Amino acid sequence: MNTANSKKIFVAGHNGMVGSAIIRGLKKTGEVNILSRTRAELDLVNQMAVADFFDKERPDEVYIAAAKVGGIFANSTYPADFIYQNIMIEANIIHQSFIHGAKKVLFLGSSCIYPKYASQPMSENALLTGKLEPSNEPYAIAKIAGIKLCESYNRQYSASHGIDYRSVMPTNLYGPGDNYHPQNSHVIPGMIRRFHEAMRDKNNKVVVWGTGKVRREFLFVDDMAEASIFVMNLEDSLYRNAVNDMESHINVGCGMDVTILELAEIIKETVGYEGQILFDTEKPDGAPQKLMNSSKLTTLGWAPKVSLQEGIKLAYENFLSNEYIRNKS
């Protein structure tokens, strides 16, 4: 619902999995005026284009869900693209938010900001305590820069200009709107497509990268959207009591992880595939475990609603409804 008195909220990356989920969540909250632009309409890497957009629209609040994202293959193949584009996107949006009077910003990062061998589960204070996972280091560096941009603007301008720029760090996300590219997707959409196509083509085996032994945590994207809106609207005193000026990001996860083998078995059963699962141990595993400590957020009053089994079922239903899949299957 849009009225003259509605908050004007810019969701950067609205066509992506996370951005579209945030818009679904915002529409449930009541009177909001949602601003969005496609990549063709607004190149967020272009400093002048972003400045012109903010000068014209002057949003009250900004959600930064726009990013160049991908799995291990994409991160390893395009490291320059991942660090350059992500740093430019967040720097342009955060700076123009400040210049044009947006008082509230929420930056969405990633669990890959934490060191490869961080103690598990990973708490917010693990940031910058060790070396990153090499395969996605450029992306992680960009996301760390986004956190520090928010913190630095707050430290310099919060008192004088009344700004409040916050950051949330989601665990691995999946769900409606995910990227099912055969090479550049993340693990859940990649497996969903692989198992579906193996069943369709009557292949008797599906090959999964790595050993299958590493552990990962997964969160349904609509839960992440609700958490983002929750943090953005959290009372200032509660937020300030939970963070500090140099460690202001908040983890968002479900609090449990599974092995890649266990994940593959869940997806196999959901799809209805009856063949074998094989692992290509010559391919990289990534970090041995990535489980977030989300106790800070749960203490503040938020909890996820969608289980992994339920979420994968919903993701597969969305995959099947995708026009590309309907036309190609």
Taking only the tens place, the pLDDT of each residue in 61-105 is 999 999 988 777 778 888 999 999 999 999 999 999 999 999 999
Q: 248-266 burial, b for 16+ CB within 10 Å, e for fewer?
A: bbbbbbbbebeebbebbeb
Cβ neighbour number for residue 41 with a 10 Å cutoff = 9
The CA-atom distances, in angstroms, between 306 and each of 205, 226, 264, 309 are 30, 12, 18, 8
The candidate with the shortest Cα–Cα distance to 168, out of 119, 117, 109, is 109
| CA–CA dist 325, 329 (Å, integer) | 6
Q: 154-190 burial, b for 16+ CB within 10 Å, e for fewer?
A: beeeeeeeebbbbbbbbbbbbbbbbbbeeebbbbbbb
- Rounded to the nearest 5°, which phi and psi values hold at 180? -105, 25
| CA–CA dist 93, 134 (Å, integer) | 27
Residue 291 has pLDDT above 60, yes or no: yes
> What's the pLDDT score for residue 2?
54
The model's confidence at residue 288, banded by pLDDT at 50, 70 and 90, is confident
Taking only the tens place, the pLDDT of each residue in 28-69 is 988 789 999 999 999 999 999 999 999 999 999 999 999 988
- 139 as an active site residue: the answer is yes
- Reduce the DSSP state of residue 280 to 3 states and report it: strand
- For residue 14, the cross-strand partners are none
Catalytic residue among 63, 84, 117, 139: 139
Taking only the tens place, the pLDDT of each residue in 98-149 is 999 999 999 999 999 999 889 999 999 999 999 998 988 999 999 999 999 9
The candidate with the shortest Cα–Cα distance to 98, out of 164, 188, 16, 29, is 164
The model's confidence at residue 329, banded by pLDDT at 50, 70 and 90, is very low
- Say what percent of the chain tops pLDDT 90: 82
- Say what percent of the chain tops pLDDT 70: 96
Taking only the tens place, the pLDDT of each residue in 175-199 is 998 988 777 678 899 999 999 999 9
The model's confidence at residue 328, banded by pLDDT at 50, 70 and 90, is low
Q: Which of 95-99, 226-230, 322-326 is the least confident region? A: 322-326
| CA–CA dist 178, 193 (Å, integer) | 11
Domains contained in the chain, CATH given: 7-174+218-253+292-306 (3.40.50.720)
- Where would I find the beta strands (DSSP E) of the chain? 7-12, 32-35, 61-64, 104-108, 164-170, 172-174, 205-209, 215-216, 218-220, 249-252, 258-259, 276-280, 289-290
Overall pTM > 0.85: yes
